[in-house]
């Protein structure tokens, strides 16, 4: 049995980053994954261009039962540290919107950078390797399809449950429970919302249509794109709110956040009263959507025919459209898993378990979930980096 100082389970963003850091500190590192290739989620991320971080990383943009937990790791390894790394590797990037940084070329460049760093640091990368058992006694013994490995430190970086088709298993949660960690209930995050068949009958004809919208749930709102689909609502603003939305509750959507619709319609009525209502509304919304909202409100005729109250109610339908989703598309399409290993059982500076010394949890398996826009990879880099300094 080859001796290791650290065994890392999961060669995703967090596992690879931790492996590099630990190996650069002279640790003998084995990194195990059941997949045939490392960083598969990096490869498909950001539409193939990997939104690898965000210029505006802030702890309050991460969801966790313990909102303070992520502060330490995010402060010790920042977005600027990762950007410097990407620059040093000669990877060209651009800011798309809202501080979101994407590769100009391909997400594969990020994977190639990490693989090169791992090879140079001497990480033993064991792909297509099944983890059969993990035992703890004198250190950790990991039984795999390639034999048994032994090390005093074990890092769990097996990610969440999202996109099972890509090898997500929930394995890390089972392991955490076995080692006495508490779990915060998991649920899909950054995921499209679904609706009743009656609501869908209205949405389906609009499938493919996108608008800039402000989507609110309680005190949190996101103003980004919204997309009508055959299955319901999607687009960045919906994905963002899905991480906060609670089942059974309604969300409120402003379909024209840059316009005071009631005022605009009243002014149009004054100036061009003979104009059709949907034509007037169509100045602020895609025509098809405007026609549907007017039809739903039961308004016929032109602006001049409408009493003030009816136009105000119509404006309300546009600016404060209340809809009650029935659910989400689930882990099948969710970008992330909310919940996970309870941070109260972890040291924020090292990601080490308070229950079992030498056992660390990093990345998505931990109850820290970022907004859409590069926040989740930054959590993977930051949590992987701090654990890499500690093991």
Which among 141, 163, 159 has a CA at the least distance from the CA of 150? 141
Question: How many alpha carbons lie under 13 Å from residue 329 in its C-beta half-sphere?
Answer: 19
| Binding region for ligand FDA (CB under 6 A) out of 110-118, 156-164, 214-222, 283-291 | 156-164
Q: How far is the CB of 145 from ligand FDA (least distance, A)?
A: 10
What phi-psi label fits residue 389: left (phi over 0), alpha (psi between -120 and 50 degrees) or beta?
Answer: alpha
Alpha-carbon span 133 to 9, nearest angstrom: 12
Overall size of the chain counted in residues: 391
47-66 positions binding ligand FDA, by CB under 6 A: 50-51
Q: Is 69 in the site for ligand FDA (CB under 6 A)?
A: no
Q: How far apart are the first and last CA of the chain?
A: 20
Nearest to ligand FDA of 311, 384 (CB atom): 384
CA distances for 384 relative to 150, 242, 390, angstroms: 21, 26, 10
Longest dimension (CA), the chain: 85
> Closest approach of Cβ 353 to ligand FDA, in Å?
16
Among 20, 22, 23, 33, binds ligand FDA (CB under 6 A): 33
Letters for 371-390 (x = contact with ligand FDA by CB under 6 A, - = none) are: ---xxxx--x----------
Task: Give whichever of 39 and 345 is closer to ligand FDA, judged by the CB atom.
Answer: 39
Residue tagged 């598969």 (tokens) = 40
Any contact of residue 98 with ligand FDA (CB under 6 A)? Answer: no
Q: Left if phi > 0, otherwise alpha if psi is -120 to 50, otherwise beta: which for 26?
A: left
CB nearer ligand FDA, residue 126 or residue 299 = 126
Q: 4, 6, 7, 12: which one contacts ligand FDA (CB under 6 A)?
A: 12
Residues 170-209 that bind ligand FDA (CB under 6 A): 171
Tell me which of 8, 11, 103, 184 binds ligand FDA, using CB under 6 A.
11
Q: Residues binding ligand FDA: what is the number (CB under 6 A)?
A: 35
Kindly state whether residue 364 participates in binding ligand FDA, applying the rule CB under 6 A.
Answer: yes
Pairing type for strands 153-156 and 359-361 reads parallel
Taking CA atoms, 285 is separated from 203, 302, 319, in Å, by 15, 17, 11
In this chain, which of 110, 336, 348, 368 binds ligand FDA, going by CB under 6 A?
A: 336
Compare residues 142 and 265 and give the one whose CB is closer to ligand FDA: 142
The Cα 276–Cα 274 span in angstroms is: 6
Residue 163 in contact with ligand FDA, rule: CB under 6 A: yes
Q: Is 158 in the site for ligand FDA (CB under 6 A)?
A: yes
- Minimum Å gap between C-beta 289 and ligand FDA is 27
Q: CA 301, CA 86: separation in Å to the nearest integer?
A: 59
Rounded Cα distance, 338 and 243, in Å: 7
Residue 41 binds to ligand FDA (criterion: CB under 6 A): yes
Considering the rule CB under 6 A, would residue 236 count as an interface residue with ligand FDA?
A: no
With CA atoms as reference, report the closest residue to 70 among 372, 360, 358, 347: 347
Q: Which residue is nearest to ligand FDA (CB)?
A: 12
Cα–Cα distances in Å, from 267 out to 262, 271, 310, 316? 9, 6, 15, 16
Interacting residues with ligand FDA (CB under 6 A): 9-15, 33-35, 40-41, 44-46, 50-51, 131, 157-159, 162-163, 167, 169, 171, 335-336, 363-364, 374-377, 380
């Amino acid at each position: 049995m080859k001796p290791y100082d650290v065994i890392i389970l999961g060669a995703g963003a967090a596992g690879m980053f931790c492996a590099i850091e630990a190996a650069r500190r002279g640790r003998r590192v084995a990194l195990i994954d059941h997949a045939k290739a490392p960083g598969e989620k990096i490869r498909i991320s950001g539409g193939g261009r990997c939104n690898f971080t965000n210029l505006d990383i802030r702890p309050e943009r991460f969801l966790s039962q313990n909102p303070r937990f992520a502060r330490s790791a995010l402060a010790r390894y920042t977005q600027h540290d990762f950007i410097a790394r990407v620059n040093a590797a000669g990877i060209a990037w651009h800011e798309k919107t809202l501080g979101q940084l994407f590769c100009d070329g391909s997400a594969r460049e990020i994977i190639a950078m990490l693989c090169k760093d791992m090879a140079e640091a001497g990480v033993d990368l064991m792909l297509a390797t099944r983890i059969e058992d993990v035992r703890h006694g004198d250190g950790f013994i990991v039984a795999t399809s390639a034999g048994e490995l032994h090390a005093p430190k074990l890092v769990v970086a097996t990610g969440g449950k999202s996109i099972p088709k890509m090898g997500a298993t929930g394995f890390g949660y089972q392991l955490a429970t076995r080692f006495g960690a508490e779990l915060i209930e998991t649920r899909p995050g950054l995921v499209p919302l679904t609706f009743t068949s009656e609501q869908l009958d209205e949405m389906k004809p609009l499938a493919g249509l996108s608008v800039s919208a402000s989507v609110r749930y309680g005190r949190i709102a996101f103003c980004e794109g919204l997309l009508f689909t055959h299955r319901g609502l999607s687009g960045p603003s919906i994905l963002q709110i899905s991480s906060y939305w609670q089942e059974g509750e309604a969300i409120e959507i402003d379909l024209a956040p840059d316009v005071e619709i009631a005022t605009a319609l009243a002014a149009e009525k004054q100036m061009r009263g003979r104009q059709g209502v949907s034509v007037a509304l169509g100045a602020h919304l895609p025509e098809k959507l405007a026609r549907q909202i007017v039809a739903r409100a039961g308004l016929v005729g032109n602006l001049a025919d409408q009493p003030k109250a009816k136009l105000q109610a119509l404006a309300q339908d546009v600016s404060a459209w209340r809809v009650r989703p029935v659910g989400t598309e689930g882990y099948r399409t969710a970008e992330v898993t909310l919940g996970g290993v309870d941070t109260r059982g972890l040291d924020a500076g090292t990601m080490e378990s308070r229950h079992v010394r030498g056992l660390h949890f990093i990345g998505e398996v931990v109850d820290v979930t970022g907004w859409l826009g590069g926040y989740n990879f930054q959590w993977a880099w930051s949590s992987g980096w701090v654990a890499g300094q500690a093991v």
